[in-house]
Amino acid sequence: MTEVLSNISPPPGAVASISDASPVHYTVKIELFSLLAKNAVEKYETGVFEAGGYTWKLVLYPSGNKSRNVKDYISLYLAKVDASSLPLGWEVHVIFRLFLLDQNKDSYLVIQAGQERRFHGLKLEWGFDQFIQLSTFNDSRYGFLLEDTCVLGAEVFVRRERSRGKGEVLSMIKQPTAAFKHTWKIENFLKLDEKRQESQTFSSASEKWKILLYPKGKDFGMGTHLSLYLAVDLETLPAGCRLCADYTLRIVNQVKDRKLDLSAKAKHWFGASRSESGWTRYVSLDYIYQPNNAYVIKDICIIEAEVNVLGISSPF
């Protein structure tokens, strides 16, 4: 046993030992291991197993975790499963050991981190980029790979757990899709009173929106200006989430050049506390009602909206 350990360098920050006992929580046997690399299978995730009241899986990179620039090593990790079912702010502190069977001696090489690891919503995976060097793993003298077969395993011991304060994840969209457009044709426009008018809801990705119109104005625009807003449908927005969106509202010029449309553009974080955004003094009533300006023709006004979602903030 001592001879084996003297020839194997444990991963940085880890401790290596030898055990005659099989792993108590999970074992995986891989046959024709070499075909993983030959078939360009960069990653293998085992089935789910239970330990300490939680569910886990092993994540294996047979040729090294390329996303972390690992080569010449096998990478092996323990990952938390079904984290979405846990309470907000959960965290679990564990000590775990990863096993590799020496088939020559029927004993296990055991790799363990030097300290307990904390799993939580932002860190669902811990393990070893350099679990074992491929040259050592492939050397039959060590017995880790015989007849192209190896056996791995895991033990997971929960030390403490808790739920903590709230948090959030901000996910910006790298390449936002083209802005979604919606057209609202309002008939009998001149007959509208001061009551708020709402367009039909329209979709942009998974969210729904509507245009809000105050024909006689709102707040500081009451009686002098038309007020215009964009609102997110909170029923389609998950609890606690906020959306960052670029949007444009415009009143269409129905006769002259579309360059004369009355347009306004803004960026806003939409959420439960601020579900709408817009302008109390979008355009003066005197100006929009003048027939020569061509914004109300045959008692019809046309309003357009363009919405482009840039990111979403979600609680955890």
Exposed / middle / buried, residue 259 (Cβ in 10 Å: 0-12, 13-18, 19+): exposed
pLDDT tens-digit profile of 274-306?
Answer: 999 999 999 999 999 998 999 999 999 999 999
Exposed / middle / buried, residue 248 (Cβ in 10 Å: 0-12, 13-18, 19+): middle
Q: Identify which of 297, 287, 226 has the alpha carbon closest to the alpha carbon of residue 256.
A: 297
| Model pLDDT, residue 85 | 74
**Coil vs helix vs strand at 86:** coil
The end-to-end CA distance of the chain, in Å, is 46
Q: Identify which of 128, 54, 58, 57 has the alpha carbon closest to the alpha carbon of residue 92.
A: 54
276-297 burial by CB neighbour count: b if 16+ within 10 A, else e?
ebbbbbbbeeeebeeeebebbe
Residues of the chain with pLDDT under 70: 1-6, 87-88, 163-166, 176, 316
Strands 276-284, 225-232: pairing kind: antiparallel
Q: What CA dihedral angle connects 57, 63, 64 and 67, to 10 degrees?
A: -90
pLDDT tens-digit profile of 71-106?
Answer: 999 999 999 998 877 766 788 999 999 999 999 999
| Model pLDDT, residue 3 | 52
C-alpha–C-alpha distance, residues 131 and 77, integer Å: 9
C-alpha–C-alpha distance, residues 296 and 294, integer Å: 6
| Model pLDDT, residue 165 | 56
Domains of the chain and CATH, by start = 2-163 (2.60.210.10), 170-315 (2.60.210.10)
C-alpha–C-alpha distance, residues 252 and 240, integer Å: 35
C-alpha–C-alpha distance, residues 17 and 110, integer Å: 5
The model scores a pTM over 0.85: no
Structure tokens at 168: 């959030």
Strands 149-163, 26-31: pairing kind: antiparallel
Handedness of CA 56, 61, 67, 71 (dihedral sign): positive
Other beta carbons within 10 angstroms of residue 46's beta carbon come to 17
| Model pLDDT, residue 89 | 72
